[in-house]
Amino acid sequence: MSEIANNKVVSVHYTGTLPENGETFDSSEGRDPLTFLVGHKNMIPGFERELMGAKVGDKVEFTLSAEDAYGEYNPEAIQEVPSDMFGDITPEVGMILESDMGPFRVTIVNDGLITVDFNHALAGKSLTFNVEVVDVKDASDDELSHGHAHGPGGHHH
């Protein structure tokens, strides 16, 4: 039976919780399993490392440090920008918007001055994952050359 290793396409069900309070931040429950190509930086670093060698049916639980997950919180990734930079959009606290520099969250709206945070919402947090391996297969040549998994039927995404 194949084991999880680099260049395998792996499907897992997972639930991610915050060890500090047990809150679930993400889960594949009720959805299709998460499918990814191992060894091509499609996942946060610790996630693949902890699953190496696992087989279909294995259940794995692990806790990652922030460094192995979404990185340390960077206070310099907080910026204040004038609201007219948002064009037609009226910024509201909690909005997640895209920019040339990547996605950011609106954290403070103060008349004409908007505070935005480029940190990932999970930056600076350690994360616990409960993972069940549902499929492990060899990647196709297309998947290897593209560096990501293709869905059922080989459709492109």
Residues within the interface to Zn ion (CB under 5 A): 146
Closest separation between CB of residue 92 and Zn ion, Å?
Answer: 35
Residue 94 or 154: which CB sits closer to Zn ion?
A: 154
From CA 115, how far away is CA 75, in angstroms rounded? 12
Q: Which residue is nearest to Zn ion (CB)?
A: 146
Q: How far is CA 150 from the centre of its chain?
A: 18
- Of 40 and 146, the one with the shorter C-beta distance to Zn ion is 146
The answer to whether 70 and 123 have CB atoms below 8 angstroms apart is yes
Check: CB of residue 36 under 8 Å from CB of residue 13. Answer: no
- Shortest CB 4 distance to Zn ion, Å: 21
Nearest residue (CB) to Zn ion, 105 versus 146: 146
Shortest Cβ 102–Zn ion spacing (Å):
22
**Least distance to Zn ion from the beta carbon of 148, Å?**
6
Number of Cβ within a 10 Å radius of residue 31: 8
Q: Max CA-CA distance within the chain?
A: 60
Given the structure tokens 């993400």, which residue do they identify? 26
Q: Which is nearer to Zn ion, 105 or 148 (CB)?
A: 148
